[in-house]
Amino acid sequence: MSVKSRGELAAKHVLSRNLALLLCFASFCAGMFFTNRMWMLPDGKGIPRTSRIGVEQSLNCDKKIKALNNEANSSGGSSGSQHSIQTLDRAISDLEMKIVAARAERETIMKDPIISEDLKNVKSTLKRKYFMVIGINTAFSSRKRRDSVRSTWMPQAEKRKKLEEEKGIIIRFVIGHSSTSGGILDKAIEAEEKVHGDFLRLQHIEGYLELSAKTKTYFATAVSLWDAEFYVKVDDDVHVNLATLGSTLAGHSNKPRVYIGCMKSGPVLARKGVKYHEPEYWKFGEVGNKYFRHATGQLYAISKDLATYISINQCGAC
């Protein structure tokens, strides 16, 4: 081979090697350019992805710190909020008692087939505040006792209305219904009511063994009909001095949970065959225990909050 051809081959070899190096360098530069573009691609707010990740981590840390602070504040202030919670509970309890009393009033009006004059005028009587409601517990066979009460301490007709309007004192004979609806006993009371207009009829079946249930029904009905400070229960063989009773109760006005009467306590009689035997004596503990202090049944009075409590819980043992 000639010298000329050798030179040409060497020049071509050098040229191809330089071209390869140039292409490699160009590829490297292009790769770096596109890689940097993708890494630094801005988001919608012009923040690089690397910076955005850091911001998100920082925000998450801030949220955790705030949550921990809130938990610490809530645990630290829990003791201070107990009084507010108790106040709220009392307010809710008062509202519940008022709601139940209003519901009892509505049910009494809707269910009673023989609506007395008191029920007809319930809307007008509820508009004012009364001092006391006196319920005289009576029976179908006690006509003479009722007449004795009417002729002595219970005002009649216009005088009774004046007592209600000026002194805020309501007086009614309290009686339920006979086991035979519309029978001769009920008709006799209806006739007596037309003459005197001084009865409060209860949704209750009369019976000697049902006196406790009758008393509870009386308080529940009375508190639904009249908004009074005190509710009095008295037997029809007791003659009441209204002035003395009024002055005694006035000394307990604005006091909570008033229960006043001739208080007593006696042994629970567990032995069968004796008078006033207690069939459920075991409810009072061991044999020989005494009853809790309570008023004798002839005459006692309770305040409105206790009457409302009875209205709410009168069916607790039903």
Sequence length of the chain is 318
For domain 108-313, the CATH class is alpha beta
Count of alpha carbons within 13 Å of 292, Cβ hemisphere only? 3
Domain limits of the chain?
A: 44-75, 108-313
Q: In what side-by-side order are the strands of the sheet with 199-205?
A: 199-205, 169-177, 129-137, 227-235, 294-303, 259-264
Only one residue has tokens 């790769």, namely 31
Whole-angstrom Cα distance, residue 223 to residue 231? 8
What are the helix (H) ranges across the chain?
A: 3-39, 49-111, 117-120, 122-125, 143-151, 157-162, 184-196, 211-225, 242-250, 304-313
The DSSP bridge partners found for residue 201 are: 175
Whole-angstrom Cα distance, residue 141 to residue 189? 10
- pLDDT of the chain along its 318 residues, tens only? 444 444 454 445 545 666 777 777 777 776 666 555 544 444 444 444 444 444 444 445 455 445 545 554 555 455 556 767 777 777 787 777 777 666 766 666 555 555 555 555 555 544 689 999 999 999 999 999 999 999 999 999 999 999 999 999 999 999 999 998 889 999 999 999 999 999 999 999 998 878 889 999 999 999 999 999 999 999 999 999 999 999 999 999 989 999 999 998 888 888 888 888 888 888 887 767 888 888 999 999 999 999 999 999 876 545
pTM: 0.61
Whole-angstrom Cα distance, residue 78 to residue 305? 31
